[in-house]
Structure 1
């Protein structure tokens, strides 16, 4: 009976117009934020949870590469972009804060570099170069230019503020090459799907952290981040990276509920 109800709900959702789906996604997001605010006392833990979920996603990739001996379906360019923004964030964290976030970033960066090594050296023959066709320059250069124009106005050295802005902007779009690979193949094998879903969850938790912090401080957090366009762009970056993955996460959950091991994406998704 429950399976029939779930299938009926999925069928109903599939036939809804895009505007209705967007409205329902917005309502669901607000409801999730309300629940998180009621359940999680210290909202700083959300950011730690986001980093932990990202690390879990990388661990799934390591398991895939170590056991299946193939990197089919993975974007090397997304892993390289991830290593770049993690390296920049790790350096900024070390010189500006040096706390538990520094250790989490170090662990995630180390595993990401291992994944890149495996894809470039040991498993290069299975790498889908023709599908991974977004140039990293098209992603890195705009983020670098934007970080020069809009960055924090804190008391830290200019180079640290620019690097901080750069890693925020780059993180928000680093998954684009991976989404392009999935768009080109249309079929996503389980471990890659688990990894991308983990990224989506991590992005949502990070976005929830910032939104709830702004709500709790009644906007004072925005002033603490600096003045001008920077506070708004920080929040916008968090929201953008969440909604970039929202569509994929919807089909992932739908696939899991349907008991499917391989995720098949409809046309137009991601």
Structure 2
């Protein structure tokens, strides 16, 4: 009789748990990961740089797929367009508000994202799953724009720049939704797309970890430093939302990789 591996036993046990228990387990895993990062990373600002580097790495995976495999199947053009939009706005804010290493990383990622959009729209259009990429992006762009008008930073910068800053924060938090909807529609995700989305999940988690750890290290003073009103809370909430949006997919990705599968199979209710 073949002995079941510990990994298979653990994943099977998790799968049998009720939804509330799965939420508790996910929360405890997140807390454990945060504590680990807090202990091993001396300068917690490096977490944000690491998040942008992982995002860039995920984009490189897509570039390889589009140039070598010659297909954009499984990729959401709408998610790439939303990504380009929030990166462009964030790059503008970075230039006029604080020019640093993040500006360089965002520039490289924006250029790569624009190239990916070009490849999907023109060079590899025949492989684009347009009928499956059916998420209405106005459902995320318009609410983010309205929210940024109502709730934005209270710094000394001009109002337009503060509104743009808020808009890119809100849009980044949900820019991956069209990609998740597309994957929900097709349910079987090939490796390169899966690697890219997992990289997005890791990047989102590292960004959230940066803010949460900073919040604890400053004993809440970070919220005061970010300004007053709802803005500080919404910044933290936006970062956490990004992580939870991708948490389900990351679970199935890790499960597939540990199980030796080349593709990720998603149940219909992941998103």
TM-score, normalised by the number of residues in structure 2:
0.98
RMSD: 1.1
Counterpart-to-counterpart distance in 2, 1:232 and 1:195: 29
The whole-number CA distance in structure 2 between the counterparts of 1:215 and 1:243 is 20
Q: How does 1:115-264 map to 2 (within 5 A)?
A: 115-264=116-265
SS of corresponding position for 2:5: helix
Shift of the alpha carbon at 1:222? 0.7
CA 200–3 in structure 1, closer or farther in 2 if over 3 Å, else same = farther
> Which residue matches 1:109?
110
In structure 1, the residue matched to 2:51 is 50
Cα shift readout 1:93-151 (whole Å, capped 9, x = no counterpart): 11111000000000000000000000001001111111010122111111000000000
Relative to 1, partners in 2 of residues 1:37 and 1:122: Cα closer, same or farther, differing over 3 Å? same
- Length, aligned pairs only: 270
d(CA) in 2 for partners of 1:246, 1:4: 24
Query: C-alpha distance in 1, partners of 2:78/2:38?
Result: 35
Once the two structures are superposed, residues 158-193 of structure 1 have per-residue CA deviations (whole angstroms, 9 ceiling, x without a partner) of 001000000000000000000000000011010000
Structure 2: runs of 5+ lacking an equivalent: none
* Distance in 2 separating the partners of 1:112 and 1:3: 42
How far the C-alpha of 1:2 sits from its partner, in A, is 9.4
Whether the aligned pair in 1 keeps the contact of 2:75 and 2:179 (CA below 8 Å) is yes
Asked if the contact 2:184–2:267 (Cα under 8 Å) also holds between the matched residues in 1, the reply is: no
Deviation at 1:62, TM superposition (A): 0.3
TM-score, scaled relative to structure 1: 0.98
Distance 1:6 1:228 in 2: 46
Moved over 4 A (4+): none
Aligned equivalents of 1:4 and 1:100: distance in 2?
Answer: 44
Give 1:3 deviation, angstroms.
Answer: 6.4
Cα 1:217–1:2 change in 2 (3 A) is farther
Give the unaligned 5+ runs of structure 1.
none
Query: Does the residue aligned with 1:152 lie in a helix, a strand or coil?
Result: coil
1:266 to partner: Cα distance: 1.5
